[in-house]
Amino acid sequence: MNAPTVVDSVAALRAQVQDWRRAGLRVAMVPTMGALHDGHISLVRIALEQADRCVVSIFVNPTQFAPTEDLDKYPRQLARDLDRLREAGAHLAFTPSVGEMYPAGFATKISVGGPSSGLETDFRPSFFDGVATVVAKLFLQAAPDFAVFGEKDYQQLCVVRQLCRDLDLPVEIVGAPTVRDAHGLAMSSRNAYLGEAELDVARLLNVILRRTAGALSTGTDEAAATEDAAKALISAGFRKVDYVAARASVTLAPWQRNRGGRLLAAAWLGTTRLIDNVEIPSA
Ligand code: PAF
């Protein structure tokens, strides 16, 4: 495969995508913060199944990190990322600087309601404002036909769908299944922070979530099931559980038994915060 073209300015990104669109090509976008793993590569593959050209943005977005979070230590490995994108067949990598995305005097924030309330927002109050603002900018800059987001960040996927619907952004959002290791651990750039012993504990997150989703679908009381799951996570070695919660799959409103549902969780392993989610099968 050819190496992707790398551009770091909005002008160069727009010029390339406009050329493709004039030629009648269908363009996909995969927004990322880099440190690409198999989960990201699966998004590129899904994009390429439905598009002629795939743009991958690599930008560690400062506005979605709280001052206490891991912006400085977030893994940055552009050369390796570009190798992975070449293998996957992506056509363009957009690697803007912070100044290109947020020039001096930048003063706009997009705040999405609906699915952004609760869950992550209870613990990271400005996270989705940062995500929505940067995703809206990326869509306006690249103007892709569609964009692919992983279900691993399930609440983010719902928020981005709401953003596009509410602002009439002409970008179709494609959700892609979570890629997991052989033990079911969801791929995440933050897994790089975990040592071997912590990885063994991390792998229990999806086991406990699947077990709890099964219990919910067979009639176990919701409060009892989610409380048991939180206790099981602590017994397994997690330091703190931010939430284990059952929600409606599209709106993320409280879950109603016998309706499509999603069980979502966030928990701390040492200083690393992991999130995951599974479907609640209908009974
Ligand atoms: O999921 C991510 O990596 C980020 O939140 C995103 C969507 C690229 C926005 O910075």
Asked whether residue 113 carries a pLDDT value surpassing 80, the answer given is yes
Annotated catalytic residue: which of 27, 30, 40, 229?
40
Per-residue model confidence (pLDDT) at position 45: 98
Reduced DSSP (H G I as helix, E B as strand, rest coil) percent helix, strand, coil of the chain, to 5: 45, 20, 35
Atom of ligand 1 nearest to the CA of 57: 8
Asked whether residue 282 carries a pLDDT value surpassing 90, the answer given is no
Atom of ligand 1 nearest to the CA of 160: 7
Per-residue model confidence (pLDDT) at position 26: 98
Residue 174's pLDDT band (cuts 50, 70, 90): very high
Alpha-helical (H) ranges within the chain are 10-22, 38-50, 78-88, 98-101, 120-123, 127-142, 154-166, 196-202, 204-217, 222-236
Quick check: do 5-176 and 189-278 share a fold? no
* Distance (Å) from CA 150 to ligand 1 centroid: 10
Length of the chain: 283
Asked whether residue 283 carries a pLDDT value surpassing 80, the answer given is no
pLDDT digits (tens, 9 = 90+) for 43-70: 999 999 999 999 999 999 999 999 999 9
Q: CATH classification of 189-278, choosing from 3.40.50.2300, 3.30.70.360, 1.10.3720.10, 3.30.1300.10?
A: 3.30.1300.10
Asked whether residue 14 carries a pLDDT value surpassing 80, the answer given is yes
Residue 28 per-residue DSSP state: E
d(CA 62, CA 71): 7
pLDDT digits (tens, 9 = 90+) for 220-239: 999 999 999 999 999 999 99
CATH superfamily, domain 5-176, is: HUPs (3.40.50.620)
* Distance (Å) from CA 153 to ligand 1 centroid: 9
Per-residue model confidence (pLDDT) at position 1: 80
Residue-range domain boundaries for the chain: 5-176, 189-278
pLDDT digits (tens, 9 = 90+) for 116-147: 999 999 999 999 999 999 999 999 999 999 99
